[in-house]
Amino acid sequence: MNPRAERRVWVLGTTGPALVFLVVVAYLPIAYAVALSFFKKTAFNPAMKWTGLDNYRFILEEPELWNAFGRSVVFTVGSVGLQLALGLVAALLLNRAFRGLNLVRSLFVLPYLLPSVVVALVFQWLLSPEYGVINQVLIQTGLVARPINFFGGLGTAMWAVIGMAGWQYGSFATLLILARLQAINPKLYEAAAVSGAGPLRAFWDVTLPALRTTLLVIALLRGIWMFNKFDSIWLVTHGGPLKHTETLPLYAYRLAFEEFDFGLAAAACSVMFVVLLGGAVIYFKLFDPTREIEVGR
Amino acid sequence: MRRFQAGATLALLFVVLGVVAFPFYWMVLSSVTPREALFQPPYKFIRLDFSLGNYRELLFATEFARYFINSLIAAVGAIVLNVVAATLAGYGLTRFAFAGKKPFAFGTLFSYMFPPMLMAIPLYILFSALKMRNTYTGLILAHMAISLPLNIWLMWQYFQIVPQSLEEAAWVSGASRLRALRQVCLPSARPGILSVAIFSFALSWNDFTFAFILQTDRRMFTLPVGLASFVEQTGVHWGMVMAAAVLVSVPTFLLVFFLQRYLLTGLRATG
């Protein structure tokens, strides 16, 4: 075999499997979903029938899609905001040398790496109206008179879900922010102190500018993931009560597996995909993560 | 004033630690609390009448063992395929010059953002047609969709720091490329490969969405789906559910405490 042919075999042999897998398991299903959104296809009548934009017309005219969209926005903004706030407070508190810092850091990785189902079950148990320890404490301290049905109440379900997501992913924000804080040059604080800045001023002039990129990356990436989060929400509320926590992915799920209309579900998925695409474009434009690898070689 | 500030900071620190740690504490404590005690609130926050009854019931009176085996098979399959595909790709992408790397990088990172639901609905339809629902192969392929992008990325970055001079030295002494790859390059890439294995495991083990949608046959449930089914019934046996939650979290605990240094390399961004 001549060297050029051999090189070609190597390139194909090494990158081929990954490329094939990526295309087959990630891109093909999405392409199929987008294609499917132009057809009528239900679980009872599997034959595909071209209907053009009918599916889109149907879901875009329904208030349900827009309601779900709005809830996705509320859940995303709420949970990402909470993650950033918790992450920032916790990281500032932890940003000092003390014994046991490594242990604390391990503790903070845990919620993020736990299976969603574990977090969901633990929170259902903690917040249960009948047996929940949180309600017990609230009643014993006299803060509330009757137990609160956190995940089942119309006014509380969304907040409870946001709180749970904040707990699980806030710890992740903490770690990233902490890492960035520890990389700030202490000289900057000395300089700020010399020029007469108090702690608040120093935070504003030194800490926040240093954290800007980190906070933005967390907000963007977590925002993209939270917008499309299915498991955490589904596990604790199934989208209820009365659809009050039915975000876009839960809406798509309902169309596919409770109303058995795959065409409509595919159209809802395509809407999700468009939002994702928008987020991804912003992320790539702002940060271009591909800089981390050398492609010119 | 200074003193007050330091005291307030410390108090706040303890509050934050409490918020993070309490759910874990309550999960573990409930799992070893006898069933009768859990149906009689108010609860004590510290109790010593431990019992392993919940664990016994979980292991011998439910399908927990079957779910565990299903989860394990899916995770091992995902690890093997991910390690092979990502390692080869990382090697090829850093050792050869060819066109299309930039689009490949974008394609990889973009697919990393795909939410499971977006892929699960079309995969359900495709796998139904191919008779691949409720099979291990189908689930493993689905799990590849969430872990492979990150893993390709990890290995791509990792192979950049594995020095090429080592391989070149091996070629000079007469080794073929394949042999240099096997005996020189792969051993130096071992930490990267280990991270890939860990992430593949974690993402597969934690997955709910794919398993929930694709594995509708009870005998093919993985642990997350099986656990979720425990609370679908009325009169939930919370002690046993917490025992199950503890056991499912064990790999997570082990990973964090033994492999923190590998984790940090890829922590940047998992779903």
Residue A105 pLDDT > 60: yes
The predicted structure's pLDDT at residue A22: 93
In a domain, B105, yes or no: yes
- DSSP character for A50? E
Q: What is the mean pLDDT of chain A?
A: 88
* Nearest chain A CA: its distance from B168 CA (Å): 16
Total H helices, total E strands in chain A: 14, 2
Mean pLDDT of the A247-276 span: 92
| Alpha-carbon span A137 to B20, nearest angstrom | 17
* Closest-CA residue of chain B to A128: B238
- Whole-angstrom distance, CA of residue B216 vs CA of residue A114: 23
Share of chain B above pLDDT 70, in %: 94
Note the pLDDT of residue B267. 46
A29 interaction partners in chain B (CB closer than 8 Å): 118-119, 122-123, 126, 145
Cβ(B210)–Cβ(B116) below 8 Å: yes
User: How far apart, in whole angstroms, are the C-alpha atoms of residue A235 and residue A161?
Assistant: 10
- For B6, other C-beta atoms within 10 Å of its C-beta total 10
Which phi and psi (to 5°) does residue B83 adopt?
-60, -45
Structure-token pair, residue B4? 């007050």
Whether the CB-CB separation of B94 and B160 falls below 8 Å is answered with yes
* Domain that includes residue B169, residue range: 62-269
Domains in chain B, number: 1
In this prediction, residue B95 carries a pLDDT of: 87
pLDDT, position B207: 94
Q: What is the DSSP string of B38-66?
A: HTSPSPPSS------HHHHHHHHHSSHHH
Put simply, the answer to whether A10 touches B252 (Cβ < 8 Å) is no
Specify the CATH number for the domain of residue B88. 1.10.3720.10
User: Model confidence over A223-232: pLDDT tens digits?
Assistant: 999 999 999 9
Query: Does B144 lie at the interface with A, CB-CB under 8 angstroms?
Result: yes
Q: Fold for domain A71-245?
A: MetI-like fold (1.10.3720)
Give residue B121's pLDDT. 93
Residue B13 lies in a domain: no
How much is the pLDDT for B263?
55
Q: Is B213 a residue whose pLDDT tops 70?
A: yes
Please report the pLDDT score of residue A29 as a whole number: 92
CA distance A147 to chain B (A): 13
Which chain A residues in 223-262 lie under 8 Å from chain B, judged by CB atoms?
Answer: 224-225, 228-231, 235, 249, 252-253, 256-257, 262
* For residue B5, pLDDT beyond 80: no
The answer to whether B29 and B47 have CB atoms below 8 angstroms apart is yes
Q: How many C-beta atoms surround the C-beta of residue B5 within 10 A?
A: 10
Between A59-63, A73-77, B121-125, B210-214, the lowest mean confidence (pLDDT) is in A59-63
Amino acid of residue B254: L
- The percentage of chain A sitting over the pLDDT mark of 70, rounded to a whole number, equals 98
Cα–Cα distance between B100 and B109 in angstroms, integer?
14
> What are the pLDDT digits (tens) for B144-196?
999 999 999 999 988 888 888 888 888 888 888 888 888 888 888 888 898 89
SS3 B243: helix
| Residue range B215-244: mean pLDDT, rounded | 90
Nearest CA in chain B to A93: B13
Q: Who wins on pLDDT, B91 or A183?
A: B91
Tell whether B154 lies on the interface with A, counting CB pairs under 8 A.
no
Q: What pLDDT is stored for residue B270 in this prediction?
A: 38
d(Cα B210, Cα B228) in Å, to the nearest integer?
A: 14
Cβ of residue B241 closer than 8 Å to a chain A Cβ = yes
Give the residue among B257, B220, B252, B186 at the shortest CA–CA distance from A122. B252
Instruction: Give A168 to chain B, closest Cα distance, Å.
Output: 9
Q: How far is A267 from chain B (nearest CA, A)?
A: 11
When pLDDT is averaged across residues B69-79 and rounded to a whole number, the result is 96
* B252 at interface of A, judged by CB pairs closer than 8 A: yes
Mean pLDDT of A202-219: 88
> What's this model's pTM, rounded to 2 decimal places?
0.90
Mean pLDDT of A167-193: 86
Taking the CA of residue A24 and the nearest CA in chain B, the distance in Å comes to 9
Average pLDDT of chain B, as a whole number? 87
**What separation in angstroms does the CA of A194 have from each of A2, A96, A210, B5, B82?**
69, 21, 19, 21, 54
pLDDT at B259: 67
What is the Rg, in whole angstroms, of the alpha carbon atoms belonging to chain A?
24
- Domain assignment present for residue B205? The answer is yes
Amino acid at B166: L
The pLDDT score that the predictor gives to residue B64 is 92
Average pLDDT over residues B82-101: 91
Best mutation target, A7, A12, A19, A25, to test chain B (most B CBs within 10 A): A25
Chain B touched by A45 (CB under 8 Å): no
Tell me the three state secondary structure of residue A40: strand
- Find how far residue A246's CA is from the centre of its chain: 15
Test the A interface: residue of B29, B121, B141 with most A CBs within 10 Å: B121
Average pLDDT in the B243-253 region?
Answer: 91
Count Cα neighbours of B269 within 13 Å in the Cβ-side half-sphere.
Answer: 23
Domains of chain A, residue spans: 71-245
pLDDT grade for B82, boundaries at 50, 70 and 90: very high
**Which positions in chain A touch B28 (Cβ < 8 Å)?**
none
Q: Are B82 and B142 in contact (CB under 8 A)?
A: no
Q: Provide the chain A residues 102-121 that lie in CB contact (below 8 A) with chain B.
A: 104-121
Looking at the complex, does the CB of residue A141 fall below 8 Å from at least one CB of chain B?
A: no
Q: Using CB atoms, which residue from A118, A225, A273 is nearest to B249?
A: A118
Q: How confident is the model at residue B262 (pLDDT cuts 50, 70, 90)?
A: low
The answer to whether the peptide bond before residue B42 is cis (omega within 30 degrees of 0) is: yes
pLDDT of residue A223: 92
What pLDDT shows up at residue A185? 84
Q: Is there a contact between B92 and A14 if contact means CB atoms under 8 Å apart?
A: yes
Which is nearest to B198 in space by CA: B72, B46, B83? B83
Question: For residue B268, what pLDDT is reported?
Answer: 45
Residue B92 tokens, joined = 């090829």
A81 Cβ neighbours under 8 A, 6+ residues apart: none
Is residue B117 assigned to a domain? yes
Residue B85 has pLDDT above 90, yes or no: yes
- B59 contact A CB<8A: no
Are A284 and B106 inside 8 Å of each other by CB?
yes
Mean pLDDT of A158-173: 92
Residue found by looking up tokens 């790709």 in the block: B89
Do B74 and B138 meet the contact criterion of CB atoms below 8 Å apart? no
CB contact under 8 A, B89 and A249: no
Task: Please report whether residue B73 resides in a domain.
Answer: yes
Measured CA to CA in angstroms, residue A199 lies from A90, A196, B199, B250 at distances of 17, 10, 40, 42
How far is the C-alpha of B169 from the C-alpha of B181, rounded, in Å?
A: 12
Q: What is the DSSP letter of A26?
A: I
Shortest distance, CA B105 to any CA of chain A (angstroms): 6
| pLDDT at B9 > cutoff 50 | yes
Instruction: Please state whether B100 falls in left (phi above 0), alpha (psi between -120 and 50) or beta.
Output: left
Asked whether the beta carbons of residue B260 and residue A221 sit closer than 8 angstroms, the reply is no
